[in-house]
Amino acid sequence: MEGSCSLIRRVYLTLYNWAALVGWFQVLYLAVKTLKESGHEGVYDAVERPLLLAQSAAVLEILHGLVGLVRSPITATLPQISSRLYVTWGILWSFPEIRNHILVSSLVTSWSITEIIRYSFFGMKEALGSAPSWLMWLRYSTFLVLYPTGIASEVGLIYVALPYIQKSEKYCIRMPNKWNFSFDYFYAALLVFGIYVPGGPHMYSYMLKQRKRALSKSKRE
């Protein structure tokens, strides 16, 4: 019974990783193609559908951690996926005024390259039991550049969106109402913006420790 459960787990995670890989590869391909043919202004429109799908599917990784399918701590997975979902749906999808900003291109490129490498690595590990050393090095090294460019793009897009958030009053709840509750999306966005200040360096430090541990283990093997 235990062997069957282990096999089902491996098959499921292999399929999940390869499906996510295809999705992010499509995002990168469309982004690069659009940048080459018409410039950064059209990147979001080109990648919107696969981007929304690929990024939303990452919610499953939180569930994977909660039920013990993977070893990744939920404390590391949750903030990273939550922040990306917020930028994807709460900023880019919600405020079309910023979709032609050049930071969208750096965001999409950073995210897609990172995820292509990550899902390739974990897909091979689940399917074959191991991944090539060069792929492991990429998995634990490319973030040194791509994490700062990605998080800078996230923070930058939230900042660019702030005037549109304030002006539109989208998602705001004003009193009086039957719930006796008010909510201002502008101040919520400012709060998220502020969380990036301690959160970004903390996550980067965590990934540096992960890199040191993984590459040291690889050398011993």
Q: Tens of pLDDT along 39-69?
A: 999 999 999 999 999 999 999 999 999 988 8
- In the numeric block, which tokens belong to residue 202? 């903390």
Please say if the pLDDT value at position 3 is more than 80.
no
Please say if the pLDDT value at position 217 is more than 80.
no
Environment class of 140 (CB within 10 Å of its CB; exposed 0-12, middle 13-18, buried 19+):
buried
Q: Say how many Å lie between the first and final Cα of the chain, rounded.
A: 31
Mean pLDDT of 89-117: 97
For tokens 């039991």, name the residue: 129
- In the numeric block, which tokens belong to residue 212? 């040191």
Assess contact for 95 and 164: CB atoms under 8 A: yes
Report the percent of the chain where pLDDT is more than 70.
Answer: 97
Mean pLDDT of 124-131: 90
Q: Tell me the domain boundaries of the chain.
A: 2-220
Mean pLDDT of 88-112: 98
Environment class of 3 (CB within 10 Å of its CB; exposed 0-12, middle 13-18, buried 19+):
exposed
CA atoms within 13 A on the CB side of 28: 15
What are residue 70's phi and psi, to 5 degrees? -130, 165
* Residue 51 one-letter amino acid: L
pLDDT of residue 180: 87
Instruction: Please state, as a whole number, how many other Cβ atoms lie within 10 Å of the Cβ of residue 21.
Output: 20
By annotation, the residues acting in catalysis are 147, 154
Which of 61-65, 140-144, 177-181 is least confident? 177-181
How many helices (H) and strands (E) in the chain?
Answer: 8, 0
Mean pLDDT of 104-111: 98
- In the numeric block, which tokens belong to residue 49? 């559908």
Q: Where are the beta strands (DSSP E) in 86-172?
A: none
DSSP symbol at 98: G
Please say if the pLDDT value at position 191 is more than 80.
yes
